Each structure stands twice: as structure tokens, then as C-alpha cells.
Structure 1
Amino acid sequence: MLPATSEHQQGEIRYRRMTAIWKGSLCFLFLVLCVLLLWVIVAGQTESVEKIYYPMAAVLGMWMVGPFFFMFWTRSIQRVSILVSWDNHSLHAGKRDIPWNQIRKIELANPARSKWQLSASPMYALFLKDGTRVHIHTDHLFGKKELQSSLSILQKSLQEHQEFDPD
């Protein structure tokens, strides 16, 4: 779900809770498969070569998918499914409030990998006038069209607020 804007310059960008639920469910099923691989070894139903490959596959699978399961799970149980909201004075992202007059530009950033070789989610990068950046992670909850659409809405809102309140 995308924006709910009005003449009062208020709006929000929401994610679909069902997206978090089904992606979390897929991650959960994969984690169950990893546990089953370990169980096959404990039950003693493997050959000697499989005792090497199954635990490696299970541990790597848990390493790669486990963080995504918890990320999607926390997003699916959150009371409010708002990723970003704003009013006339500031942009609200999680517990951070960033005044419009401090934001220089907003772009979409796609990091290649995290430091632990996990897939990093696309994020909105807010470039502030003091030279710092604030990242708003999308947690893989939007498709490409939704990312671009919500980015253009954020950029349009920034432009409107900069015209309304120039520095």
C-alpha cells in the first residue's frame, strides 16, 4: 500500500502485512528443511559423505535465511504497518523525526551485501544538509514498482516542503 496524502501535506508509505507474512512463512519452511537435514544426521540415516554435506547445508541455510525470518516476523506482528510518514514539519521513520529543512535529497540505495554476506534490503537514503545520511530500510517488502513509486512520492513531498519553507 502506498501513500495517503492530503492537502495538509501529510502522508505515509505503508507495506503490506501479507507480504511480510508470506515471505516469513517461506523462510520458516526453509528453516524447517534445515532442521530436518540435521535430524536425518542425528537419526543416523545418512552415509558418511552425507554427514559432511547435510550439516554444512543446514548451517548455511540457517545463516542465510534465519535473519530474514525474524525480520519478516517482526514486520508482520507490528501493530502499525507504516514504513515512513510525514507531516508539514518533518519526516517520521521509526523513532526518528527528521525536519524537512534538514533534508537535502532522497534517493534509493541498493547495497550489494551486508558485512556478513547476507542480502541487504533496498533502502531510502536521506542526505541531510549537515553531510550525514539517514537510511530507511524497506526490508524487502516492496517490489521494484512500489519502490520507485514510493521514492517519487517522497521526493515530491520533499520538493513541496522545500518550496513551502525555503532555507
Structure 2
Amino acid sequence: MQQPETPKRNHQQIPYRRSTALWKGSLCFLFLLLCVSLLWIIVDGQAERLETIYYSIAAVLGMWLIGPLFFMFLSRLTRTPAVLLSWDDESISTGKRRIPWSRIRKIEHASPARSKWLLSASPMIVLFLKDGTRSHIQTDHLFNKKELNQAVTLLQETLQEQQQNG
């Protein structure tokens, strides 16, 4: 007896390179070591009064701006699998969320300015939903401009196919 065919699910994904997260995370780590070294110079008493002010400001600002990037790259480096998002015929999945194609109106990419806390805001893929809301998918600085454009174009083409088939 033959089993009924199950419909094939067109499963695709947009992976990122762990090596990108590794080298960017390593650069952040080296910078954080420099900040800690500046603080150590102050604590050890090797800095003069004026240098103490400069070193402490530089160390705190360096940790404030680079620290979150380091942990972002570290989390991407340890994440398994190394996939930014995936999708099938039903929905897009970002790991935590699943958004059905039927709810998505259009897809674009955005490059926001700095956040309100002066932290680096990474380029993102924006899903404009039919209810007027938006869903942002952070790329965490893991793609260059060409790779990001290719990913957005692929998602836009897939959305167009889903809208035609649905």
C-alpha cells in the first residue's frame, strides 16, 4: 500500500559566517582589553592627575560602546545553527518568532542611525506587516552590504511568490 504524498516544504535559510563573528568579536575583545589596561594604569598609580581623567573617560566610553558589540558577536559565535533566519512555504522563522507569509505586506532593509544610548545599531531586515506594524530582524553587523542586499532580494522574491501562490 502506498502512503499519501506529503506536500514538500520549500525550506530555505540565510546563514551567516561564524568566522565573521569570530574576527569582529576578537577585535572587540582586544579593544576591551585596552580599556581594562587603562583602568589598571590608573589603579596602579602610574598615571598623573590629568592622565587619570583622560584614561578613565576613555576606558568607560570604550567599554560602553564596544562591550555590547563583543557580547553580541559572542552570542552569534556560540549560536547553533549559524542561521539568521529561515523560512518554508508557511512562514519566516527568526528562531524565536514565526511570522506567516500571509501577514507580511513587504520586506525592506534599513540602516538605522545610532541608538538613543549612542550604541551601534546594526542594519536590519524590516518586515512590514498587513496590520500596520513592523517586525525587525537584526543582522548584528554579520553581513556586508552586498550580502545584505542579496538576502533582502531573495526574501522579497519569495514573498512575491507566496503572494502569487496564496
TM-score, normalized by length of structure 1? Answer: 0.93
Which residues of structure 2 form unaligned runs of 5+?
A: 1-7
Root-mean-square deviation (Å): 1.0
Note if 1:22 corresponds to 2:34: no
- Distance between the aligned counterparts of 1:79 and 1:93, measured in 2? 13
Whether contact under 8 Å (1:93, 1:136) holds in the other structure is: yes
Residue deviations 1:17-61 (CA, integer Å, cap 9, x gap)? 110011001000000000000001111111111011000000000
Runs of 4+ in 1 over 2 A off after TM superposition: 7-10
CA contact (8 A) 1:37 1:54 kept: yes
Q: Displacement, 1:8?
A: 4.8
Counterpart of 2:57, as a letter, is: M
CA offset at residue 9 of structure 1?
3.0
Indicate the residue corresponding to 2:55 in structure 1.
54
Q: 1:4 is matched with which residue?
A: none
Identity %, equivalent residues: 62
Q: Is the 8 A contact 1:104 1:126 kept in 2?
A: yes
1:10 shift after superposition: 2.2
**2:81 matched residue in structure 1:** 80
CA distance, structure 1, for counterparts of residue 80 and residue 91 of structure 2: 22
Q: For residues 106-163 of structure 1, what are the alpha-carbon distances to aligned partners after superposition, in whole Å with 9 as ceiling and x for unaligned? A: 0001110112011100000000001110000000000000000111001011111111
Listed as ranges, the gaps of 5+ residues in structure 1 are: 1-6
Equivalent position amino acid for 1:146 in 2? E
- Find the aligned partners of 1:78 and 1:93 in 2 and give their Cα distance: 13
How many pairs align? Answer: 159
Which residue identity does 1:22 align to in structure 2? W
| Structure 2 equivalent of residue 159 of structure 1 | 160
Counterpart of 1:101, as a letter, is S
Please say if residues 9 and 157 of structure 1, whose CA atoms lie closer than 8 Å, have aligned partners that are also in contact. Answer: no
Is it true that 1:111 corresponds to 2:112 in the alignment? yes
Tell me which residue corresponds to 2:44: 43
Matched residue, 1:148? 149
Paired residue type of 2:12 = G
CA deviations 1:82-104 (Å, max 9, x no partner) are 11100011111121111101100
- Matched residue SS, 1:58: helix
Q: Do the aligned partners of 1:14 and 1:84 also contact (CA within 8 Å) in 2?
A: yes
Query: Which residue is equivalent to 1:121?
Result: 122
Q: Distance in 1 between matches of 2:44 and 2:114?
A: 36
- Structure number with greater Rg is 2
